[in-house]
Amino acid sequence: MIDKSIKIQRTQSVLRELIPEALSTLEDEMLRGVCVIDVECSRGKYDANVYLDGSVYDEKEKNYILSRLDRVQRHIQTHCMQAEGWFRCPRFTFYFDDSLERQNKMDALFAKVDEELKKGKNNDA
């Protein structure tokens, strides 16, 4: 059971490296700049969720990127199979991960609250 988990983790790690490599070979400048944050494979490695950094794109750009990635998926799969000598490659589903953006907003809010608390202490003294 543990052995399967290690194999999936290894596949995920390899895909985190190979997908950006495959994207760098494309002609589309916007796709070449996409940053892969994480890859999660299904138990049978038939499907993989690919999480992208969406913090630098607006909604229109995100929709464009996702539609283009669906079109070039076969190219990305072929690149991964050739690089690793695999017989098959998972089907990719791409998502923009906005957790980093949410984390940055939360950090900014906490910094603001901290600043307000310090101002309050200074006024009391």
- Dump pLDDT digits (tens) for 73-108: 999 999 999 999 999 999 999 999 877 667 777 787
Would strands 91-97 and 47-53 be described as parallel, antiparallel, or unpaired? parallel
pLDDT per position as a tens digit, 19-67: 999 999 999 999 999 999 999 998 778 999 999 998 888 899 999 999 9
Residue 70, pLDDT > 90, answer yes
Residue 11, pLDDT > 50, answer yes
Element (H, E) at 47: strand 47-53
Q: What is this structure's pTM?
A: 0.75
Residue 72 and residue 23: Cα distance in Å, rounded?
9
Residue 100 and residue 11: Cα distance in Å, rounded?
24
Task: State residue 101's pLDDT score.
Answer: 66
